[in-house]
Amino acid sequence: MDFEVAGNKRKMQISELEEWREKTYYNSRIYKERTKRWHDKRIKKKKFKPRDKVLLFNFRVKLFGHGKLRSKWEGPFKVIYPSPHGAVTLQNNEGTLFKVNGHRLNLEPENIKNELDIIEFIESIGFTMSRFLFFFSTQK
């Protein structure tokens, strides 16, 4: 066995391995840059002004005991001061001030109160109709 030929072959394998590593590093860097560009393009900046009404996302809602269809949005809260770095100072109905991350907020739609009234009205009609139908089904 010729040790010099085996040594040269081993050096070639090591140099090829280094080339593969460099290519892989370069390709992963390109992939990360493209992914970051794609993600950053789709981020929507949220601008809040003082006196805006907002809803706060509560990510700590436990599903057990509250129902899985319960809304995770709480509010409305009033914006007092939006900081330039993303934190927003809010005020609840009792007048308590607190700061939250702006990513957890959404502007409150103007007609949310009307939608809730309509839903409650439809539910009350459905309850009345079911009582009405139950009453006549027991009369036979």
pTM over 0.75: no
Same domain, 36 and 71: no
Same domain, 36 and 60: no
Same domain, 18 and 60: no
128 assigned to some structural domain: yes
What would the pLDDT profile of 24-36 be if each residue is shown by its tens digit? 999 999 999 999 9
pLDDT of 140 higher than 50: no
Q: Which two tokens stand for residue 17?
A: 């391995």
**How confident is the prediction for the chain on average, in pLDDT?**
80
Q: Identify which of 50, 52, 58, 59 has the alpha carbon closest to the alpha carbon of residue 107.
A: 52
Same domain, 88 and 125: yes
Same domain, 31 and 71: no
The domain in which residue 7 lies consists of 1-43
| Least confident piece of the model among 64-68, 103-107, 114-118 | 114-118
What strands, in cross-sheet order, belong to the sheet with 73-82?
A: 97-101, 87-91, 73-82, 53-57, 105-107
How many angstroms from the chain centroid is the CA of residue 6?
58
Q: How many domains does the chain have?
A: 2
48 assigned to some structural domain: no
What would the pLDDT profile of 99-114 be if each residue is shown by its tens digit? 999 888 988 876 455 5
